[in-house]
Homo-oligomer: A and B are copies of this chain.
Amino acid sequence: MPDMPSTRVGLWLIGAKGGVATTLLAGLAGLRAGTVPPVGLVTAREPFARLGLVDFSDIVVGGHDIRIGSLAAEARRMWTESRAITPELLDAAGPLLAEVEERVRPGTIVAAGDRIASLADLPGAVLVETPRQAMARARRDIEEFAATERLRHVVVVNVASTEPPPPPMPREFAEIEPLLDDATRCPLPTSSLYFLAAVEAGASYVNFTPSAGSTPEALQRVALDRGIAHAGCDGKTGETLLKSVLAPMFAARNLEVMSWVGHNIFGNMDGKVLDDPRNKSAKVRSKDHLLAGILGYPPQTHVSIEYIRSLGDWKTAWDHVHFRGFLGTPMTLQFTWQGCDSILAAPLVLDLFRLVERAHRAGEVGVLEWLACFFKSPLGVSDQDFGRQVALLHDWAAARAT
């Protein structure tokens, strides 16, 4: 799939009917119409405006999903269940939602785990695919998207629900490749099959979830060989963002964090999936590991995520930090975060799409480490200090700005 001489760039969403995707589309419609200011979009600020990023009017969206429901109906739930997007904006996004819906193709659940499979609504033929067949089908969908829409390039972004963690993975892709014909032995989860499909299709890739996706080292080497730029994983939107901002403060002041407890409650589709302990374990690990890295020692930590239906997309987190100061005196910091998950995530997906596309245009390949500030578990970067991660991004932008 060679890059075409076009200004149009494709955004292919895995999970195209989820809350993040529909929020992104409602926002994209508003940004194009000028009715939505670019609040929440990192790339709307300096120095990114001078990078020649893709125009909102040049973004063409398509994607995979495992559910049948209409995009417009899914988007409407952001109003009826969460009061998070106004009816006016949803009405105005109607034409774009209808247009994108035409481009959504059936996803795969070949290795997605029971909880996600139980939510699927897929044609029978899709359900009996081998991993290799699922991957090939996904690749074809992406390639057809690029050809039909005459796109200069495609960026695939995973915004699907969180999978359970995969089994240990062989270090060499050569050991994995033969297993693709056998769903019961193949260690690759669905998200990694999509990643390989993107790589094969020549598309860039972003993993916005804690699912494995592009994380396995064997797969990263494949991407590097094919000259693919990618980034991940797990968008940092709320409680973990705050951890990566507050923990450096305790470190800088040499205050000893004895325990850090974080309780998260919310009620969207993502929450339903995380209600399964296997899926939850992947998420909790991604939210929990950064403290020891920043502090230099492991405090006692506890992270819970609970599905509370009435909250809809509103993720409420209560964090309790118990720390010791001078003379051993114990003190406490508590915070409550009341954020709307999809509202926080959607503009970051647009940012990542625009930045990865720009990097691709500049010939960058492999892991884009300067995108670390967007992720809970940044590939290739061990520094979890948000401030320093932001500095990496700004340094990159300064070097690319014209």
> Which residues does A use to contact B, with CB under 8 Å?
23, 26-27, 30, 36-42, 44-45, 83-89, 241-242, 245-246, 248-249, 252-256, 258-259, 261, 263, 265, 300, 302, 304, 306, 308-311, 316, 318, 320, 322, 324-340, 343-344, 346-348, 373, 385-388, 390
Contact = CB atoms under 8 A, between A and B. Distances in A.
A347 B241 CA distance: 28
Nearest to A311: B322
Contacts of A86: 327-328
Chain A binding site: helix, strand, loop or mixed by DSSP? mixed
Q: Which of A45, A310, A337 has the most CB of B within 10 A?
A: A310
A335 B254 CA distance: 21
B333 A337 contact: yes
Given A320-B316, A322-B311, A40 B259 contact: no
23 contacts: A27-B327, A37-B328, A39-B328, A40-B255, A41-B254, A89-B327, A241-B253, A242-B249, A248-B390, A258-B310, A259-B308, A300-B308, A304-B306, A310-B322, A325-B347, A326-B344, A326-B346, A326-B347, A332-B338, A334-B338, A335-B335, A335-B336, A336-B336
A84 B335 CA distance: 23
A72 to B, nearest CB: 16
Contacts of A385: 387
Contacts of A340: 325, 329, 331
A134 B66 CA distance: 61
What 10 A-B pairs are tightest by C-beta distance, nearest first?
A387-B387, A40-B326, A258-B310, A335-B335, A332-B338, A326-B347, A40-B325, A329-B343, A318-B318, A259-B310
A48 to B, nearest CB: 10
Nearest to A258: B310
Given A42-B253, A302-B306, A318-B318, 20 more contacts: A23-B326, A23-B327, A36-B326, A40-B325, A83-B83, A241-B249, A253-B348, A259-B311, A263-B304, A302-B308, A304-B306, A318-B320, A325-B340, A326-B346, A326-B347, A329-B343, A331-B339, A331-B340, A333-B338, A334-B336
